[in-house]
Amino acid sequence: MTAKPLRHKAILEVLGHQPVASQENLQRALARRGFKVGQATLSRDIHELGLAKTGNGYTVPQGGNGFDAALPSVSRLVREFVLEVRPAQNLLVIRTTVGSAQPVAAALDGEDWPEVVGTIAGDDTILIVSPDNKAAQKLAGRIEGMLA
């Protein structure tokens, strides 16, 4: 799997919070999420996603462009990038390949599972907070099942 779908998802997440004034600012925001992209690649991504440039910067057009349907499933992201799941009471520590923690965490958050209170992602590690130990164990089993 290429990084392109993950990069596109990251771009949409960045723009989901607020417009970004320039390609340079978008490039920096992506770098903070672990995506190092050149200007030519970013220009292609902007075109492919159908982003609009307004007076406030780049935005996702009203109604979106249907890109979300083409994103990989959470099970596919887990299968391809998760290396280890370690429960610690009501917490889960998930190790991923380098640069993959944030997209995987975003996909897990997007599932809106009751066992997930929230996630924090670094470069290759995700911390998931569950409401209690039982929920954390259930979630660990669910994620480990995706790895099989």
Q: What's the pLDDT tens digit per position in 92-118?
A: 999 999 888 888 888 888 788 999 999
- Residue among 93, 12, 98, 17 at smallest CA distance from 60: 12
Q: What is the pLDDT of residues 74-98, one digit of tens each?
A: 888 899 999 999 999 999 999 999 8
Annotated domain spans of the chain: 4-70, 74-147
So what CATH class is 4-70?
mainly alpha
143 neighbors 115 (Cβ within 8 angstroms): no
What pTM did the predictor assign?
0.56
Distance separating alpha carbons of residues 58 and 52, to the nearest angstrom: 6
């929920």: which residue's tokens?
135
Question: Is 4-70's fold the same as 74-147's?
Answer: no
Distance separating alpha carbons of residues 124 and 126, to the nearest angstrom: 7
Instruction: Calculate what percentage of the chain has a pLDDT beyond 90.
Output: 41
Question: Considering the domain 74-147 in this protein, what is its CATH number?
Answer: 3.30.1360.40
How does residue 2 score in pLDDT terms, banded at 50, 70 and 90? low
